[in-house]
């Protein structure tokens, strides 16, 4: 696989996927207001928030970095992003999962075996 230089870091501590499609005319300040007013979260914590449009062929990621917003934008030429569906408005992701999503994988299908917790054998 080719190296990707303009991608969210795999070590990012907080990444959130916003489930509902948004108006893609929104820029950094409009997305920050959505985070603050609709989600009740501070856009200044350094967390990354990922958004998509109705056609699911574009992604915008917003994060605060020291003294300003970073806005990452990707528009697919032909395909669509596999956007997870859920009842929750926000879905927490790992750095690996956001990069899988950007690569076109369905992150709902990339689940390992469930973790088992036993107390005894007998």
Residues 7-11, mean pLDDT to the nearest whole number: 79
CA distances from residue 87 to 19, 37, 40, 90, 91 in whole angstroms, order as listed:
9, 19, 17, 9, 10
C-beta of residue 97 within 8 angstroms of C-beta of residue 7? no
Query: What number is the average pLDDT over the span 32-52?
Result: 96
Task: Tell me the pLDDT tens digit for each residue of 55-107.
Answer: 999 999 999 999 999 999 999 999 998 887 766 788 899 998 898 888 888 87
Q: Give 3-state DSSP helix, strand, coil % of the chain, rounded to 5.
A: 15, 25, 60
Please check whether residue 47 is in contact with residue 9, taking contact to mean a CB–CB distance below 8 angstroms.
Answer: no
Domain map (residue ranges) of the chain: 15-103
86 against 117, higher pLDDT: 117
pTM, two decimal places: 0.83
């Amino acid at each position: 696989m080719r190296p990707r230089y303009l991608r969210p870091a795999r070590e990012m501590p907080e990444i959130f996927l916003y489930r509902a499609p948004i108006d893609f005319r929104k820029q950094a300040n409009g997305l920050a207001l959505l985070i603050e007013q609709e989600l009740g979260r501070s856009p200044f914590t350094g967390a990354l928030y990922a958004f998509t449009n109705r056609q699911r062929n574009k992604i915008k990621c917003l994060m605060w970095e020291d003294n300003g917003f970073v806005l990452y934008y990707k528009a697919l030429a032909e395909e669509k992003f596999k956007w997870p569906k859920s009842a929750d408005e926000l879905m927490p992701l790992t750095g690996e999962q956001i990069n899988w999503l950007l690569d076109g994988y369905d992150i709902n299908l990339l689940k390992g075996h469930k973790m088992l917790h036993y107390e005894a054998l007998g």
